[in-house]
Amino acid sequence: MRAPAVLMLSIALAWGCLSGPAREAPVESLRLSQVEPQGDPVRRASLRLCAEGLRADIARRDGPARSQYERAIALDPTNPWAYLVLARHEVAVGDPRRALQYLQQAETLLRNEGAFIPGVEPHVEGLRGAALVASGRPGGEHLRRAAELSPAVWDDGRLDADELL
Amino acid sequence: MALGIAGAAFVGGWLSAGWVVSLDGVVRQRFGGQRFRVPSRVYSAPTIIYPGLDWKLIDLEGGLRRLGYRRVAESARLEPGQYIWDASRVRISVRAFAHPSRPEPARDVVVRLSGSSIEEIRELPAGREIWALPLEPEQIGAYYGPNREQRDLVVLDELPPHVIDAVLAVEDRRFESHAGLDPRRIAGALIANLRAGAVKQGGSTLTQQLVKNFFLTPERTFRRKAQEAVMALLVEFRYDKHEILQAYLNEIYLGQRGATAIHGIGEASRVFYGKSARRLSVAEAALIAAIIRSPNGLSPYREAESAVKRRDLVLDLMRRQGRIDDAAWRGAKAETLRLAAVTPDVGDARYFLDLLRRQLSSVYSEDVLASEGLRIYTTLDGRAQRLAARALREGLEDLEKRYSGLATQEPERALQGCLVAMRPQTGEILALVGGRDYGDSQFDRCTQARRQTGSVFKPFVYIAALEPRGVGPKLTLASFVDDSPLEVKTPSGPWRPRNFDREFHGSVPVREALERSFNVATARLGQDVGIRRVIELARRFGVTSPLPEVPSLALGTAEVSPMEMVRAYATLANGGVLPEVQAIEDLVGKGGKTLERRRLRFERVLDAGTAFLATSMLRGVAERGTAAGLRSNGLRGPVAAKTGTTDGEHDLWLVGYTPELVAAVWIGFDEPRSIGIPSSVGALPIWRRFVQELTGGEIRGKFRRPPEVTVADIQPATGWLALTGCPERRPEFFLKGTVPRITCPTGAVSDVQGDDSPAVRRRFFDWLRRQM
């Protein structure tokens, strides 16, 4: 009885290996409004500053937007979302090198918090790809993965502020 | 004879004309160019209040007072810069904050309080909820010129008419009609002074006063008086009344604030009332005008009664001259004197100001900083700075009381110290106190001094051993290190390190070696890893001081600044990411344009897993080791720290961090000599007090375990992996793939990794093959 079961398991495994990496099902990318009510008062205040910043970004007020993000970090320096929205801002205003630094910080904090969940991954992948491409480095793979994970947001290869709010 | 007289008159005329022309040149040069030197002001980071914040901990009311806000009675209608405080709520009329990229509007808000916590903040009258309310940044200093003049320039057209009326009523009622000199006023003053038999009344017009302050020395000679008169006529000839009055209102001296001279209506308004001159009431304007005659003798802070008496005189003059009506006169006279609180010194932020000046000097000269009126917004946290200054000052005083040999009457030989605190994720300096008293010594021991670090350097040795490079790490946290006698050959002879307790401890767990700061075990580990590698690691962590490649480097014999150490430890708090040190948020020119804007910069220099292991070891130091005293006052929450005491107890260190704060304390004499106590007695209490007061004793956040780190039980006595049946066990952190292979209780070798490492996958496929 045991051999057929093992055989089937082996076939299944082999099939998985031969057919290459599975195309992952799209996920619903996370928005700030979904995490905004979470955390202690410091985190909540910090997230709300991030949201204010995104609104300023939507209104194309770069300076105030960045100020809000920086304040959000000052209030809660361990808030990964503050670095993520700042990374998005830097990509949008054309400073991809800086964006990559913020993104690294965001990813580290997200992973440490156990918050690197499927809904976040397309943002991190996509922003990394966009920043790499903008800085003249190969980043297409990251962009493709972001589009695969979250086509609704990343099909155009960019993350608008309102898509994160 | 006649010819001689004519000749003399001709020559005299030419000389007089030449004199007038030269005075005219002086007038044009000064009036035509930059008229005022406006010192650059330096501000702290803004305080942000939000629901859930402990308003008692941050001393909200004290903060409002320091910003010049005034508490008013409950019934009062609020004006910007005022607040009403009752049992369960605070209504604040928040002033507008002008800034090119983060302006804040003036708005009335209500802050509801529940116990010591802020329950909610709402904007009035609409009731819109505010999630985070930034208050204006606090001024922490200014870069003055040699005269230490402070001014806040005003524009005449923006001032309410009663401000101008108050000044003209008492200082120069015929200003609009005279040509620089007022013969009636001169005659009146002459008669009054003759009657009194002394100089009781001045005859100078406002233009003459301006000329005197602008161009001349205060000496009382006929020549200077003549110069003043001629120059007043020249100023009136060349410039219109509007320009002259505006210059006067910005130039006039209005008293002292400490060592700083207050010049101009704008600055006086800011200092006395904590508001813009545009918002001065009639009574407030009259008081400022009243003290022009004798700014220090009539200081509203020291001589309130005299100042109010003269204010009322000014109000009488205003009414008599028809500048205000009866209703305004009555209202102003009834107004009680309400002054803004005198802002206390922001915890001796002058060391920080010096650091900024050094950083800015490559772009902005001393003269530009003292005259261009730049606004420099910094990262300094005003509250953290005050607490740091107090913790250091009182900590040193306490040590001198307890150990009489440390006290001295000579300030230059006194026990010194410094404290620097940083936000690890961003590298922002939150507090910097470079010495116990800036007045006695301006030398900043946090940024300008390099001192032996002692054991606070040891973590570099352990990290170098824990970090997987190529073949894997030399150590895990289950490893043992050898603390038996060691001799290392050096060019200057054999080096034999000793422990603080003069004992050798044999084979000791790696955690214990660091927690108890064993020198011999660390020195041996340094030899095993290689001093070059330790140096390379310290360099990655931002240490730039010279690091000699000698065996004793492992024990902290190199001289490094506290700022370098705090940044290096910030890297650990930040999960292996080195932040660039930030002191400035942005710098705004006098036209309101942003000239500089900081950008956060960081670089990963260590993998997150190893950084976490290092933090875990340093937490052990704070829990059980040489820094265990950090907990003695009830400080709760995650802390990682390392003490450092150098040979002969010349330098005492404590560098420690929480998830959101890293701080270094150093104590020693400027000319190194023995302090006679270990760092756990000298530096630790200062660090503890600072963090305790800053956090309220409850540290926020967690040192989170990154995915690269796994947990497995080990047998403490052996460091073997503890399986079922192992008599003793405790959990330990490991980088994935480095869990011990020898297992307890059998001593057999196992590949159990408790994770998805290649070994686990290999075992799975081995099992599958066996099944088939």
Question: B24-65 pLDDT, tens per residue?
Answer: 887 777 776 666 788 899 999 999 999 999 999 999 999 999
> Do B76 and B152 fall into the same domain?
no
> Do B291 and B211 fall into the same domain?
yes
- pLDDT score recorded for residue B54: 95
CA distance B647 to chain A (A): 37
Query: What region does B255 belong to: left with phi over 0, alpha with psi -120 to 50, or beta?
Result: left
The string of pLDDT tens digits covering residues A68-105 is: 999 899 899 999 999 999 999 999 999 999 999 999 99
What's the token pair of residue B579?
Answer: 């932040």
> Do B110 and B219 fall into the same domain?
no
Is B537 among the domain residues? Answer: no
C-alpha–C-alpha distance, residues A81 and B127, integer Å: 28
Q: How many beta carbons lie within 10 A of that of residue B240, not counting itself?
A: 9
- pLDDT score recorded for residue B764: 43
Report the CATH number that the domain containing residue B275 is assigned in CATH: 1.10.3810.10
> Do B150 and B268 fall into the same domain?
yes
> Do B156 and B302 fall into the same domain?
yes
Where is pLDDT greater, at B86 or B7?
A: B86
> Do B68 and B165 fall into the same domain?
no
Alpha-carbon torsion (A35, A36, A38, A44), positive or negative: positive
Chain-chain contact of B131 with A49 (C-beta, under 8 angstroms): yes
- Domain range for A158: 28-164
The string of pLDDT tens digits covering residues B595-624 is: 988 888 889 999 999 999 999 999 999 999
Where is pLDDT greater, at A9 or B71?
A: B71
Where does the pLDDT of residue B565 fall: very low under 50, low under 70, confident under 90, or very high at 90 and above?
A: very high
> Do B245 and B119 fall into the same domain?
no
Q: Which of A7, A67, A101 sits opposite B102 (nearest CB)?
A: A67
Is A2 among the domain residues? Answer: no
What average pLDDT does this structure show over B199-225?
78
Where is pLDDT greater, at B729 or B590?
A: B729
The string of pLDDT tens digits covering residues B493-532 is: 999 999 999 999 999 999 999 999 999 999 999 999 999 9
ipTM of the complex: 0.82
What's the token pair of residue B144?
Answer: 């003055």
Strands of B297-396, DSSP E: 375-378
CA distance A157 to chain B (A): 26
Report whether the peptide linkage leading into residue B745 is cis, meaning its omega lies within 30 degrees of zero: yes
Q: Which residues in chain A have Cβ-Cβ distances shorter than 8 Å to B102?
A: 63-64, 67-68, 71
The mean pLDDT of chain B is 89
> Do B108 and B253 fall into the same domain?
no
Where is pLDDT greater, at B12 or B549?
A: B549
Chain-chain contact of A78 with B706 (C-beta, under 8 angstroms): no
> Do B287 and B248 fall into the same domain?
yes
C-alpha–C-alpha distance, residues B621 and B640, integer Å: 7
CA distance B604 to chain A (A): 8
The string of pLDDT tens digits covering residues B723-755 is: 999 999 999 999 999 999 999 988 888 765 554
Is B568 among the domain residues? Answer: no
Is B459 among the domain residues? Answer: no
Q: For residue B464, what are the contacts with CB-CB under 8 A and spacing of at least 6?
A: B529, B530, B533, B534, B537
What's the token pair of residue B683?
Answer: 């530096």
> Do B108 and B222 fall into the same domain?
no
Is B436 among the domain residues? Answer: no
Q: Which residues in chain A have Cβ-Cβ distances shorter than 8 Å to B426?
A: 73-74, 77
- Domain range for B272: 143-334
- pLDDT score recorded for residue B13: 74
Q: How far is CA B337 from CA A56, B281, B332, in A?
A: 42, 11, 10
Domain count, chain B: 3
Is B726 among the domain residues? Answer: yes
- pLDDT score recorded for residue B423: 96
Q: Is B284 a catalytic residue?
A: no
What's the token pair of residue B476?
Answer: 């895990």
Q: For residue B172, what are the contacts with CB-CB under 8 A and spacing of at least 6?
A: B178, B182, B185, B205, B206, B207
- pLDDT score recorded for residue A17: 43
Is B47 among the domain residues? Answer: yes
Is B646 among the domain residues? Answer: no
Domain count, chain A: 1
| Alpha-carbon torsion angle B178, B182, B183, B186, nearest 10 | 170
Q: Which of B334, B349, B368 is the C-terminal boundary of a domain?
A: B334
Is residue B441 less than 8 Å (CB to CB) from chain A? no
Q: Which residues in chain A have Cβ-Cβ distances shorter than 8 Å to B428?
A: 74
> Do B215 and B134 fall into the same domain?
no
Report the CATH number that the domain containing residue B52 is assigned in CATH: 3.30.2060.10
Query: Treating both helix axes as pointing N-terminal to C-terminal, what angle do A80-93 and A41-58 enclose, rounded to 10 degrees?
Result: 10
Closest to A39 in 3D by CA, of A49, A27, A47: A47
Q: Is B116 a catalytic residue?
A: no
Report the CATH number that the domain containing residue A120 is assigned in CATH: 1.25.40.10
What average pLDDT does this structure show over B256-266?
83
Q: Which of B97, B120, B139 is the C-terminal boundary of a domain?
A: B139
> Do B229 and B86 fall into the same domain?
no
Is B317 among the domain residues? Answer: yes
Is A8 among the domain residues? Answer: no
Where is pLDDT greater, at A143 or B19?
A: A143
What's the token pair of residue B6?
Answer: 């004519």
Q: Which residues in chain A have Cβ-Cβ distances shorter than 8 Å to B604?
A: 104, 108
Is A107 among the domain residues? Answer: yes
C-alpha–C-alpha distance, residues B541 and B534, integer Å: 11
Q: Which of B114, B139, B164 is the C-terminal boundary of a domain?
A: B139
DSSP B216: -
